[in-house]
Amino acid sequence: MFTDNALVTKTDNQITILAIETSCDETAAAVVSDGKLIRSSIVASQTALHEKYGGVVPEIASRAHVENIYPVISAALEQANVSKEQIDAVAVANQPGLAIALMVGVTAAKTLAFAWGKPLIAINHVHAHLQSALLEAESLELPAVALIVSGGHTNLYEARTPLDLTLLGRTIDDAAGEAFDKVAAILGLPYPGGPHIEKAARQGNPKAIRFPRSLMQKDSLDFSFSGLKTAVLYHCRGQDMKGQNRVAAMSEQEIADIAASFQAAVIDVLVRKTKRAARKFGAKSVLTGGGVACNNALRQAMEAMCRKEHYKLLVAPKRYCTDNAVMIGSLAYYKYKANQFAALDLEPSATA
């Protein structure tokens, strides 16, 4: 269980929100005041439960959420040193994600909102990732283009305010994070794949293999990583798929070169699409968040592009790139100020 101790003291004029996140395999709760003041952050990870399966098993995730939700919420309130009377609203991620995982958080949030007589705020999990990039920002020059790149989503948005987001492009098949996991499995690397691909890539040559970059039509802002994943598979096992044992015979350097070349292809597409969007919409800032934004090579490539193109880059702190409730509470503040509340019959949705 991860706790964030960067706490502040609540004052009477602050809007303080209890936020809950259970969209996938992290049970998280946080208390956030005024969108940026983090009073507590608790995350119970399920990585060890899903590692042997090479991916998240929805039923296992749901059961773990049920077991963790009460202790996590209690710990968040205790760490923040607040009572229910000091909570102004309860926020929860209700979309998108695993429906049976989302249901646990939504049920808990609705129960607390009803029992405490507090407003309920529904949050789009992917939109909340954008807020992670703003947590430590002193200012935001608008308009902005936001790249959210996580395990299940690779989306580009035009952002005019935290609540005014226009979807510009999304993955049409495998998201970048999924591609990292699947390529890691091909190479015999552990789950989750992203950190292990990145580690292997540090010793590899990113130009060793010229894997394809799927940019689609000239003006397209959508993403596709399925073909890249397949190219890696064919490289490792042959076009006839009869080379299942070839990876086992590869040297560490060969695996590192494949990892580096694959990673370079993903990052090339992400950066080029983001630049395309920023130019098209006259962006002044570029925001980046989501689990894959932890990748140092991606962060460096985005920084180089923005420096060359004269965009202000705001990247989520690494501790808030992966799923957490702080980002839920941060976005909920703006919805609270706009009186955008949800009814107590709120339901989870697997899609946005």
* pLDDT tens digit sequence for 152-209: 899 999 998 889 999 999 999 999 999 999 999 999 999 999 999 999 999 999 999 9
Look at residue 219 in the predicted model and tell me its pLDDT.
Answer: 87
Which band of pLDDT confidence, cut at 50, 70 and 90, is reported for residue 241? low
Domain at 137-316, CATH class:
alpha beta
Of residues 214 and 112, the one with the higher pLDDT is 112
Would you say 136 and 319 are in contact if contact means Cβ atoms under 8 Å apart? Answer: no
State the Cα–Cα distance between residues 84 and 77, nearest whole angstrom: 9
Of residues 6 and 231, the one with the higher pLDDT is 231
Look at residue 2 in the predicted model and tell me its pLDDT.
Answer: 41
Give 87-100 pLDDT, tens digit per residue.
Answer: 999 999 999 999 99
Look at residue 244 in the predicted model and tell me its pLDDT.
Answer: 64
| For residues 76-85, average pLDDT | 97
Angle among Cα 71, 19, 177 to the nearest 5 degrees reads 95
Identical fold between 2-125+323-337 and 137-316: yes
Give 94-124 pLDDT, tens digit per residue.
Answer: 999 999 999 999 999 999 999 999 999 999 9
Exposure string over 66-84, b if 16+ CB within 10 A, otherwise e: bebbeebbebbbebbebee
Query: In the β-sheet with 144-149, what is the strand arrangement from edge to edge?
Result: 164-170, 154-161, 144-149, 285-289, 312-315
- Mean pLDDT across the chain: 92
Nearest to 329 by CA among 11, 12, 9, 14: 14
Domains of the chain, by residue range, sit at 2-125+323-337, 137-316
Least confident window among 4-8, 41-45, 173-177, 290-294: 4-8
Which band of pLDDT confidence, cut at 50, 70 and 90, is reported for residue 339? very high
Q: Can you tell me whether residue 149 is helix, strand or coil? A: strand
Strands (E), the chain: 2-3, 16-21, 26-33, 37-45, 89-95, 120-124, 144-149, 154-161, 164-170, 285-289, 312-315
Question: Can you read off the two tokens belonging to residue 72?
Answer: 């996590």
CATH number for domain 2-125+323-337, candidates 3.40.50.1980, 3.30.565.10, 3.30.420.40, 3.90.1580.10: 3.30.420.40
Would you say 156 and 147 are in contact if contact means Cβ atoms under 8 Å apart? Answer: yes
Q: Is the pLDDT of residue 58 over 90?
A: no
Which range has the top average pLDDT, 8-12, 47-51, 64-68?
Answer: 64-68
